[in-house]
Structure 1
Amino acid sequence: MQKLIGFVKNIVVLASVCVCVWCAWESLGAWFSERGGEAFLFAAGMGIEGAPESETEQGTGLPPESSAVPEEVHTDGALPDDGVVPFHSDLLPGFTATPDPNRSSGTVEEIQLDGGTPIDNFFVRDSTESGTDLAAELLESPDVHIKGDGSVEVLIYHTHTSEAYSKEDSGFYYTDMETRTQNQDMSVVAAGEELAKALESRGIGVVHDKTVNDLAYNGSYSRSWEVIQKNLAEHPGIQVTIDLHRDSMTTESGVKYKPTAQIEGRKAAQAMLLAGCDASGDWGDFPDWEWNLRLILRVQQKAQELYPGLMRPMSFSNSKYNMNATRGSMLIEVGTEVNTAAEARYTGRLLGEILAETLLGLE
């Protein structure tokens, strides 16, 4: 009799388990039907809350000091994929959206910067009050004549060589994060290297000078001026000098902005071209600023034509920043410290394609 009672109990337990499993399966099936592919991503631990879109803009000046954590070195020439996902997606595979509660952290907001005065197909933020007719300057030919025969005609250098990027696209940052680094795979040097390779692939000879000019931040521009002069003496065919930086944008509430564009299905750090001006002639050593302006306007125009959204509004300001070195001098900001190194490298490559198209197309 005891055996019979035990057998009946086992049957009842088994039946209960089957009912529970069947109910759970029905609920799960309904959830998957409702959520579709998102449900599978969530089940795999890949679904997180995403930052809302924003049109807020802050900061257009030169960046402060910068750095990041080491990253593996890639020697095969390929751009590493460090969590690149669609712009504003709420899916960041491989990374956590929850910071360590034992470390002070802040929010990263991914934005796309635009606005300014429309000129042709792009925008310019003109703070010079010089009355310069930018539309008319765009029609003027730059004084740059690139042969594209492999001889050195472009110099890429970095006044703030240690400015760094982040390793991961995580949606937050730690307030004690390093923003400068001597690991040149994680700094503006990496973006410059991609820029150089893209230009060289089109037959434009490049010197990429990786001299560290900001071990002591004060005096960086004096040191980079010496770098420019050294290279001009060694390569008298240089017509274009590019000072590649990265920016930094943080609100009073501690939100760091990450200017980002999606180009051909991949995230890129938004870049900004800066053209200097000395309309009053007060400096006395920058009489050719209009020649730089004409070239930079052409580059901005070509960028918008090839990769809409990649560039922030062009900045035209009362500044010099060593742009009095040649008639083809420019300063470029690529992203901020919370853009990833891979995003910055991708932008470097795109900038190379834009510059090649611009320079080789000049009369």
Structure 2
Amino acid sequence: MDAWCRAMDAIYVFAVLLAVFWILVNLFYRRLRLAESGVVELHSYVILVFKKGVGWAPRPSRRIRVYNAASTLLYFLSLALFTYSALASVLGRLRTGSSGVVVLVPGVNIVGVDLLFFLASVSIAASLHEYLHAVFALRNGVPVKSYGVMLLLILPLAYVEVDEEAFRKAGRGGRIGVLSAGVAVNLALAFASMLLLSAMSSPIGVLVTGVEEGSPAYEHGVQVYDVIVSVNGTPVRGIGDIPVVRKLAKPTVLEVAVWRSGSGIVNLTIPIGVGDERIGVYLSPAPSTWLISSLGASAALAAYRFTMWMWIVNFSLALLNAAPLFVTDGGRVIGELAGEKWGRVINAASLLLFIAMILP
């Protein structure tokens, strides 16, 4: 209960600081008349855009129909994944009464080095998303008027502005191809990151990322960056396989086998006393031993976690932007396919489904 209260306090403090920041941004934006510069724009009170006019001329491609078809196919795959995930989440909550999807909030439930990896992944994913919009626009004969960066709440994103009049004159297949391009590259990056993460992962073992001083693990030889491969002869395939000390009949002894870079398998005997509540280790999914041997433990863990965030961020962006919501690429794609009236109906229904999915 105390941990939950501390988490809620952190969320409230974060929300207040974020609100104060955007109030000041809005005040300074109007006070300094930044809108007149043509370089800085403020949208919906929480989207700050810095842009530069470029006037990139279109460069039509003979193969653009193939590219548009591939982009559209990946978009519909992302849409199917979003629909399945949302319905499975909502139906699961109705059956079990569980809470909604956990919303990742930088600074609240994404902290430390993970926050850096998260922000880097978002910047890369968003920049490539917008870059593909620009490339597909040019290849479909639509000029790009400007590009730049934006800040959405606290997320740094890229920004591309196409010539809307030329965009409307492009064929429907071309318009859908341009709108689908960002989702397509995010889904492709997500799959590539997933495959790379699979190659980087160890099928057995969990990585020790920290050891509490004075704990049983500390006193009996467990070291940071050890990979725990078995406990009492039972292979460890995930963090859930590590015994919970509070549930053990004590006193007892844990026979722990760890893989240690430079030493191979090391067997440790860890006595657990009556008063011990924790074994005293902080754990993470383990990178493969070949990766640790090649890069070193700290670099291997950094590469592993960055790749993990690239997978999470790109997959999430692909599904979120594919969703038929009023402000997403998916909302515009559905509008192109279903028409303005039915597009609004589908967008509204999808918005209700999305809200039901994320409500606590």
Provide TM-score, normalisation by structure 2. 0.24
How does the TM-score come out when normalised to structure 1? 0.24
Answer 1 or 2: which has greater helix percent.
2
Q: Which has the larger radius of gyration?
A: 1
Larger relative contact order (Cα-Cα within 8 Å, sequence gap ≥ 6) = 1
